[in-house]
Structure 1
Amino acid sequence: MATSGTSDRSEPPPIHRLIEVHLDEASLSTYSRDVEHERQVAIYDLLQQNVFEVVGMDRGPYRLTLSVAENRLLFDIADHQHQQCAVFGLSLSPFRRLVKDYFLICESYYQAIKTATPSQIEAIDMGRRGLHNEGSELLRARLKGKVEVDFDTARRLFTLLCVLHWRG
């Protein structure tokens, strides 16, 4: 799920970044080792390098908790002193088809790496990355006016959206 992409911004100011990311345990369901691995990698990569600027605020760096409730992806954002800065939800409806297709192609990818030829794996992976990029751009568009993120940060956040959406 989480793969590297091309960054579209230089090093962010220290306040325009995430220093903690949590997924609400109540929002998580049982999922595979592959999904757990993707969650861990996405959070690790996100904390290593990200651009996360809450529009209209300079209270970062930020702490983010993601959860799902009533078909919404909830962003609970606090500052470095644990003071709440913003809470908002994004409807998951615009992501539904994309996430479903992404899960299907990920399952195909995980099966292919066991038995397929390198060229078959590469073709599936290209499709997987394409859907991931599409989801990342949709997430960036849905966050516009609330939080500004670069492409790589959006990719990792889309991975976490998928983990929270997983009903394996």
Structure 2
Amino acid sequence: MKNIDSIKGCRIDENHFDLEKYSTFYCKQDVRILREGFVKFRNDILKEFDLNVYDYVSICSIANKLFENRVYFPNGNLYDLSNKPREFISRCIQGGRCMLSDNIKQKSEKKLIADFDAVSLYSSAIARLYTLEGIPKVMKKKMLSTEYHMRHLFDDDQKEPIGEKFMSGFFVLIKITEIGIHRHFSF
């Protein structure tokens, strides 16, 4: 009840208080604290990264711009894609999977079930993996064979094109006609 006494005119008597005055005070406090936090956040982002949070709709879009400024653009060989190339390559992206074995309910009254949830997979994947660089090119018919790809793909530790090894990777559309083996985590 001490906080009620700190709000002028809020206490009515020993057992009652003015709910509207109390609520108004705390709503104003919430807005003030939220504003101060946002101003601090905005100033920190401006100071550290030279980005104005008013120019973005989400923390993800701020992170993406920071990644562009510090990784993509300095590289000099990464490009924004649009239209058909972007549409085609984006179809190669798969999100995470959340499912149980065979996608059926698991129940055990006699043994413990382990729940494993790996975290920070995106950032660790970015640190380990590479991004295909350069302007995408449409493959010619002669390039659409396993033999061609194996002959021209970079070796595991290769960083630059050398002679016949000039392909760092590729995006292709394939049609799987048969699997033949049942897997516990099929998609």
| TM-score, reference length from structure 1 | 0.22
| TM-score, reference length from structure 2 | 0.21
RCO (CA 8 Å, sep 6+): is it higher in 1 or 2? Answer: 1
Higher strand share: 1
Q: Which has the larger radius of gyration?
A: 2
Higher helix share: 1
